[in-house]
Amino acid sequence: MDEPCGAPNTFRVTYRTSQPLDEAAISASSTLVYHLVKNRSGGCDCTVASTGT
């Protein structure tokens, strides 16, 4: 999350305000937040959020 856009192993998401999110987008963002929070608390052993600082 600290790397600039275009850095290796990163991706960028553009959200246009006032555009509703579909179920897949809500699920993806919820899963990412879950893993980021769990990783920060030391309880996640997956690689989804392991590179965040």
Tell me the pLDDT tens digit for each residue of 8-49: 877 777 778 888 888 998 898 888 888 888 877 777 666 654
> What is the C-alpha separation between 37 and 5, in angstroms, rounded?
22
Output the pTM of the full model: 0.53
> What is the C-alpha separation between 20 and 1, in angstroms, rounded?
24
Quick one: pLDDT band at residue 53, thresholds 50, 70, 90?
very low
How many independent structural domains does the chain possess?
1
Containing structural domain, residue 48: 1-53
> What is the C-alpha separation between 38 and 46, in angstroms, rounded?
10
